[in-house]
Amino acid sequence: MTSSDVVIVGAGPAGLKAAVYLGRAGIDACVVDEYPVAGGRLLGQRYRQRGHWWVGRKVAQELLDSLSACPSVRLLLHTSVVGLSREDDRWQIRLSGADGNIEAKAVIVATGASEVPIPVPNWTLPGVMTVGGAQVMANVHGVRPGQRGLIIGLGALSFAVAQELAWANVELAGIVLPPFGPPFRWLGSVDEQWSRLVHWMHLAPIWMRPLQPALMRPQWCRRIMAAAPRRGLAVAGTRLRPNVRALRIVGDDRVQGVELVPCQGDAEPSGKPWVEPVDFVCLSGGLRPVPDIVKAAGAAVLESPGGLYDVPVSGPLGETTAPGLFVAGNVLGIEGAQVAMAQGQLAALGTVCWLTHSPDRSLEQERAFLAELEEARRKTLILFDPAWPEVQCRAEQAWRSRGESH
Ligand SMILES: Cc1cc2nc3c(=O)[nH]c(=O)nc-3n(C[C@H](O)[C@H](O)[C@H](O)COP(=O)(O)OP(=O)(O)OC[C@H]3O[C@@H](n4cnc5c(N)ncnc54)[C@H](O)[C@@H]3O)c2cc1C
pLDDT digits (tens, 9 = 90+) for 269-322: 778 999 999 999 999 988 999 999 999 999 999 988 778 889 999 999 999 999
What confidence tier does 175 reach under pLDDT thresholds 50, 70, 90?
very high
Q: Are residues 312 and 388 in the same domain?
A: yes
CA-proximal residue: ligand 1, atom 27 (nearest): 112
Q: Are residues 255 and 313 in the same domain?
A: no
Q: Which of 41, 140, 288, 314 to mutate to test the pocket of ligand 1 (most atoms within 8 A of CB)?
A: 41
Q: Cα(39) to centroid of ligand 1, in Å? A: 8
Q: Are residues 102 and 133 in the same domain?
A: no
Final residue before a domain boundary, out of 260, 285, 310: 285
Q: Are residues 281 and 293 in the same domain?
A: no
Q: Are residues 210 and 271 in the same domain?
A: yes
Range of the domain at 172: 128-285
- CA 133 to CA 285: how far, in whole Å? 13
What mean pLDDT do residues 325-343 have?
96
- CA 57 to CA 52: how far, in whole Å? 15
What confidence tier does 5 reach under pLDDT thresholds 50, 70, 90?
very high
Q: Cα(55) to centroid of ligand 1, in Å? A: 15
The ipTM is 0.98
What CATH number has the domain bearing residue 221?
Answer: 3.50.50.60
* DSSP conformational letter for 119: P
- CA 217 to CA 231: how far, in whole Å? 24
Point out the least confidently predicted range of 112-126, 174-188, 371-385, 389-403. Answer: 174-188
Locate the ligand 1 atom nearest the alpha carbon of residue 344 and give its number.
25
Where is 277: in which H helix or E strand?
Answer: strand 274-277
Q: Are residues 273 and 296 in the same domain?
A: no
Verify whether ligand 1 is closer than 6 Å to residue 288 (CB atom): no
Point out the least confidently predicted range of 44-53, 134-143, 219-228, 393-402. Answer: 219-228
Verify whether ligand 1 is closer than 6 Å to residue 133 (CB atom): no
- CA 180 to CA 266: how far, in whole Å? 7
Verify whether ligand 1 is closer than 6 Å to residue 43 (CB atom): no
Predicted pLDDT at 315: 93
Is 67's pLDDT higher than 70?
yes
Locate the ligand 1 atom nearest the alpha carbon of residue 113 and give its number.
53
pLDDT digits (tens, 9 = 90+) for 207-254: 666 766 776 676 777 777 777 888 888 888 899 898 899 999 999 999
CA-proximal residue: ligand 1, atom 6 (nearest): 45
Predicted pLDDT at 305: 78
Is 266's pLDDT higher than 70?
no
Q: Are residues 184 and 158 in the same domain?
A: yes
How many structural domains comprise the chain? 2
Indicate the SS3 state at residue 129. strand
Q: Cα(70) to centroid of ligand 1, in Å? A: 23
Q: Cα(379) to centroid of ligand 1, in Å? A: 19
